[in-house]
Each structure stands twice: as structure tokens, then as C-alpha cells.
Amino acid sequence: MRKKLFSEIPYIKSERIVLRALGPEDADSLRELTGSEEVYRYLPTFLFEKRYDDAETVIERLYTECAQESIILGIFEYGEFCGLAEMYGYKDPIHKISVGYRLLRRCWGRGIAGEALRLMVSYLLDETDIEIITASTMIENRASAAVLRKNGFELVAEAVGEDWGYPEPVPADKWIR
């Protein structure tokens, strides 16, 4: 029997990439990520890591306040913090979850997002009761769309207006696997 999502905080790894819970030692790296306008230009304004001004508070509350609606893991390449991987929007009756990722600018173009996504998908489909995985991307975020495509996601709706916390709905592409 497969485990229910949220029954544990996963530790997922490959030879190069580890997805794990953030700890107090990751506060400076998280602060660097959340302070990057370049990274967050393609993301909703209401992400959990932006809820508090202090990175230590975010990490302290990440696995209590956020734990039943979202799992946020650090992405590490050979031990170096590169960004965040998130599983969110859990719909238990239909065994559905959405996924997302965000990387420090210096980690773009190295295949880290693709490998982190592969690890999340493998974990979700092989070890949990999840059957449907979705993702949303701003239509301008072609790099993320390419990562999704390479990982077997199909584009199912284009330029759908979504509330991402901006004054106007954001045209987003919808993906499914």
C-alpha cells in the first residue's frame, strides 16, 4: 500500500540532487532566493516563503503551518542550496497534486530543475497515492515549460487567467502528467 501524501516530509535523492526539509542552517540561502526579483518574476506573490520577512521564521513554521496544504523542500546539488521544490494544492478525493520549483539565478541552465522535477514525479507516482500531477507556468516562462515537457507533462490549457496575487489575473499555461 502506498503512503498518503503529507504522512511524512520526504527525503528524496539522486547521485547529484537531494530534496530535503529546510533547517535553520539554510536561512541565509533562503533569504538569498526570496530576495531575488529575477527569480520571483514568474511566480505567485503569495508563496509561503514570502509570507514572513524573516527566513528563520519561514523555516521554523514551514513544516507546521504549511504542512497539510503544501510540502516545500530545499533543492541541493552536491550539498549546495539551489532552490525550492513544492508539492501543493492536494486534492485527496482524486489523488491530485500540483508541483513547482524555483532556483537561484546562478543555478539556472544546469539541469537542476529537470532533475528535481523527475525526483518529485517519481516519488509522487511510485511511493504515494497520487495519480494526477499538475503544474502552472506563466506563459512567458518558456524555460519552465521546457522542463515540464521534458518530464512528460502535457500542455492542456493555454493562457488561462489565474489569481497569482497580482492586481490582474495572470495568463498561465496548465500542464498535467
| pLDDT tens, residue by residue, 19-75 | 999 999 999 999 999 999 999 998 998 899 998 989 999 999 999 887 677 899 999
Q: Is 5 within the bounds of a domain? A: no
Q: Which of 56-65, 97-106, 151-160 has the lowest mean pLDDT?
A: 56-65
> How many other CB atoms sit within 10 Å of the CB of residue 2?
13
Q: Is 68 within the bounds of a domain? A: yes
Query: Is beta strand 132-138 parallel, antiparallel or unpaired with respect to 170-176?
Result: antiparallel
* CA–CA distance, 140 with 129 (Å, rounded to integer): 32
* CA–CA distance, 104 with 124 (Å, rounded to integer): 24
Q: How confident is the model at residue 174 (pLDDT cuts 50, 70, 90)?
A: very high
- Residues 134 and 171 sit within 8 Å (Cβ to Cβ): no
Q: Is 155 within the bounds of a domain? A: yes
12, 28, 87 from 130: Cα distances, Å:
16, 33, 11
DSSP 128: B
- The pLDDT value recorded for residue 1 is 62
Q: Is 6 within the bounds of a domain? A: no
Q: Is 91 within the bounds of a domain? A: yes
Q: Is 16 within the bounds of a domain? A: yes
Go through 38-48 and write b for each residue having 16 or more CB atoms within 10 A of its CB, e for each that does not. ebbebbbeebb
Report the CATH number at residue 77. Answer: 3.40.630.30
User: Which domain range does residue 46 map to?
Assistant: 12-176
Q: Domain total for the chain?
A: 1
Q: Is 7 within the bounds of a domain? A: no
pLDDT mean across residues, the chain: 93
> Quick one: what percent of the chain has pLDDT higher than 70?
98
